[in-house]
């Protein structure tokens, strides 16, 4: 690590996948290095239950002149922080993104999972990453998010947001879900399915990709609609304008559906109601450490075969 001057007033929220031993070791490394440079840390209450194993002990941090503050995972958890540092896989990143977006600060992901497509760096580069953080040597991108609303009898009865996707799904062990897909106030198609995904370009490499959707480059602002196991000829993935209004009506007289935002936040969509998805006015701030093209990330994360490429 390079030596830096103390940084008074700086605070970083640490979000950790507590089920991984590697996360424990990495969290301790992060706390020690940032503490040595005068950067205060916050950790979440649920992750600090066993602080003797997951985090540096309070006495160790005080010896560095920095205390760890323990906060609840609510809308104010990241208030006043410089950024949120996520140690884990994509699930941990999405959890951190929820806290960061609430107060419009950036999130930086370190992959400790398998693919970790949302992470900016791997765990073995943690010292280099911390150098960037300490020196404030990083840039911030804006990533599009989605506003997700459940409307019944003309009134919005539930609302959420998504970074990756909003997924409308049939209930467990229920039959085919009947829906009508609508774009910009006009019907497109009616079909039976297991569900419908509405995704951002960021989410196109996640659930939407597994359901047969295309990969969209993150700087292509658009909304991706992917029917999941649909029983219809025209039920194919569609890419719309980022300003399109997408609605999925659940067949009246059938079963209730369930909507998930990023696989985390759940909303019930009753039969006869509709799920409405539009571009959200609040984007997610995303820390970037280098200028490598998205193509390189795609090849690296999915381990795509490129042997034999001659280039220019």
The answer to whether 286 and 191 are in contact (CB under 8 A) is no
Instruction: Report the candidate in 211, 265, 220, 266 with the shortest Cα–Cα distance to residue 239.
Output: 220
Identify the bridge partners of residue 284 per DSSP, sorted by sequence position: 143
Instruction: Report the candidate in 145, 142, 147 with the shortest Cα–Cα distance to residue 106.
Output: 142
Is 310 annotated as contributing to ligand binding? no
Q: Is 153 a catalytic residue?
A: no
Is 206 annotated as contributing to ligand binding? yes
Is 210 annotated as contributing to ligand binding? yes
Within 8 A by CB and 6+ apart from 2, the residues are: 131, 134, 135
Is 259 annotated as contributing to ligand binding? no
Is 69 annotated as contributing to ligand binding? no
Residue ranges of alpha helices (H) inside 38-191 are 51-54, 58-63, 90-102, 126-134
SS3 248: strand
Question: What is the Cα–Cα distance from 138 to 127, expressed in whole angstroms?
Answer: 14
Is 164 annotated as contributing to ligand binding? yes
Is 234 annotated as contributing to ligand binding? no
Phi–psi pair at 29, nearest 5 degrees: -65, -45
Instruction: Report the candidate in 242, 152, 150, 263 with the shortest Cα–Cα distance to residue 197.
Output: 263
Instruction: Report the candidate in 197, 196, 160, 158 with the shortest Cα–Cα distance to residue 179.
Output: 196
Is 27 annotated as contributing to ligand binding? no
Is 202 annotated as contributing to ligand binding? no
| Three-state helix/strand/coil letters over 183-198 | ECCEEEEEEEECEEEE
Is 205 annotated as contributing to ligand binding? yes
Q: What is the dihedral of CA 191, 194, 197, 202, to 10 degrees?
A: -140
The answer to whether 166 and 207 are in contact (CB under 8 A) is no
Is 252 annotated as contributing to ligand binding? no
SS3 210: helix
- Catalytic residue chosen out of the listed positions 67, 69, 72, 90: 90
Is 138 annotated as contributing to ligand binding? no
- Output the known binding site: 90-91, 95, 164-165, 194, 205-210
* Residues tagged in the binding site annotation for NAD(+): 90-91, 95, 164-165, 194, 205-210
Residues assigned a catalytic role: 90
């Amino acid at each position: 690590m390079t030596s830096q001057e103390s940084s008074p007033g700086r605070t970083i929220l640490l979000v950790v996948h507590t089920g991984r031993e590697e996360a424990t070791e990495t969290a301790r490394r992060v706390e020690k290095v940032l503490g040595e440079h005068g950067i205060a840390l916050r950790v979440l209450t649920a992750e600090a239950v066993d602080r003797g194993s997951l985090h540096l002990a309070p006495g160790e941090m005080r010896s560095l002149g920095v205390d760890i503050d323990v906060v609840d995972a609510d809308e104010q958890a990241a208030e006043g922080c410089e950024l949120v540092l996520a140690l884990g896989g994509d699930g941990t990143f999405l959890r951190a993104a929820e806290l960061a977006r609430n107060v419009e600060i950036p999130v930086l992901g370190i992959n400790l999972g398998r693919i970790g497509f949302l992470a900016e760096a791997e765990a073995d580069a943690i010292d280099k990453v911390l150098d960037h953080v300490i020196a404030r040597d990083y840039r911030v991108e804006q990533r599009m998010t989605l506003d997700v609303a459940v409307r019944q009898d003309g009134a919005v009865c539930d609302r959420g947001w998504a970074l990756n996707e909003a997924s409308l799904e049939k209930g467990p062990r229920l039959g085919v879900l009947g829906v009508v897909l609508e774009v910009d106030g006009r019907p497109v198609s009616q079909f039976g399915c297991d569900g419908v995904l509405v995704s951002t370009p960021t989410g196109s490499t996640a659930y939407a990709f597994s359901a047969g959707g295309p990969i969209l480059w993150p700087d292509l602002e658009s909304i991706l609609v992917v029917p999941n196991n649909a029983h219809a000829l025209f039920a194919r993935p569609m890419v719309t304008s980022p300003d399109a209004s997408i609605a999925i009506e659940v067949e009246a007289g059938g079963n209730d559906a369930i909507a998930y935002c990023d696989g985390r936040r759940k909303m019930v969509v009753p039969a006869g109601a509709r799920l409405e998805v539009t571009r959200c006015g609040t984007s997610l701030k995303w820390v970037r450490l280098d200028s490598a093209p998205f193509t390189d990330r795609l090849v690296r994360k999915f381990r795509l075969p490129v042997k034999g490429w001659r280039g220019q």
